[in-house]
Amino acid sequence: MDIMKMTRELGKAIQQDDRYTAYMLAKQANDEDKELQEEINRFEDLRMNLGSAMSVEEPDSDKIKALDTELKSVYQNIMKNPKMIVFSGAQQALEKLVSNIQQMISMCANGEDPETCQIPESGCTGSCASCGGCH
């Protein structure tokens, strides 16, 4: 079997996984929540305004502080939304699945036995300072 065809089969299998289904349902729920979408748009507007305020030749520190405070407040409101909480959990579960798949592929590409190689339980913390090296 062609390796790209096998990759497509893996993609189909991922899309049949419960974690993918949960992610897609949570994403759809967020997309259909008008109030949540308004808050997300407000957050994006504030983020752009903050970036613009910081990029001028003589930045107004009071304006920057006010925008930053409002931005953080809107972000907290978004992240407290029950639908966003469900979405974040589903997204993390799907990302962990994909990360584990990528790690296994890398391990096999580095010569480990595909039948016996195991993903380390701890996984990558994202901090290279505390890492013994990538596997």
Hey, where are the domains in the chain? 33-105
Residue 120, pLDDT score: 77
- Contact between residue 42 and residue 81 where contact means Cβ atoms under 8 Å apart: no
Residue 131, pLDDT score: 53
Distance CA 60, CA 54 (A): 8
- Residue 62, pLDDT > 70, answer yes
Distance CA 19, CA 95 (A): 9
Output 1 or 91, whichever has higher pLDDT: 91
pTM of the model: 0.78
| Each residue's pLDDT tens digit, 65-84 | 999 999 999 999 999 999 99
Q: How far apart are the first and last CA of the chain?
A: 27
Lowest mean pLDDT among 1-10, 64-73, 116-125, 126-135: 126-135
